[in-house]
Amino acid sequence: MKKQIPNIITLLNLLCGSIGVLLAVQDNLITAALFVGLGIFFDFFDGLAARSLDVQSELGLQLDSLADMITSGLVPAIVMVQLLNDATGSTIEASSANWSTQALAFDLPVFPLFGLLIALGSGYRLAKFNVDDRQTTSFIGLPTPANAILILSLPLILTFQPQEWVVNIILNEWFLIGLTVFSALILNAELALFALKFKTWNLKDNWFRYAFLFFAFVLLLLLQYIALPIIILSYILLSVVLSGKQHDDS
């Protein structure tokens, strides 16, 4: 039974993501973001549980990626589709016509479907992660949970901090298209990003992790939801700086 505990936690992540998909399709983006956040919480603790109980397995690795594909890949993609709908004035509605007459109909606005590129980029990134032995102590490319936070921060900002200039930026279709392309590329970029995993609590070995967490905490206090995309972009930039410093030292 002990070896199944991490898998049960991973399945809770998958459950949260599945609920998030249903909510995002219904355009209930805030509650969808809540369930994705809960799923990411479970995603952090399934690996921690596996290491603590010494029950890491190939099954757990595959199950974790499948759960992440839903929670941190598919939900953000659907959210982006809905945001592109809002930006272009399109709508996705269920037809009231008889189902049998609509079985082969495709009544979806095509342009917003570009947001599904996030799902494709996430799937490719997760597949690479499972066969890449370089990603044991750091990441190559932006992890899908971090990318999910980046995308899902947008409806949170629109709802809770709807300043006019922010709304005009977020609901610009070309900004959203650009962010979608950036998202798919940064997920799969050959870019080393540090992991927020503490093997020890030693300050000397983890100073940049402590500094980043403190920076993120202060930014959240000051800027609330607007801080989320800034934190993710700062994470990428700090990783680039640290990677360049390590390369110079070597």
CA distances from 244 to 136, 202, 230 (A): 19, 23, 21
Structural domains in the chain, sorted by start = 2-91+109-194 (1.20.120.1760)
Tokens at 234, concatenated: 């700062």
Q: Which residue matches tokens 């990134």?
A: 125
> Given this model, what pLDDT does residue 96 score?
45
Looking at the predicted structure, is the pLDDT value of residue 91 above 70? no
Lowest mean pLDDT among 6-15, 86-95, 135-144: 86-95
Cβ-proximal residues to 221 (8 Å cutoff; 6+ apart), any chain: none
DSSP 8-state class, residue 145: H
Q: Which residue matches tokens 């004035």?
A: 89
Instruction: Express each pLDDT in 156-197 by its tens digit.
Output: 999 999 999 999 999 999 999 999 999 999 999 999 998 876
User: What is the average pLDDT across 81-85?
Assistant: 96
Instruction: Express each pLDDT in 220-238 by its tens digit.
Output: 999 999 999 999 999 999 8
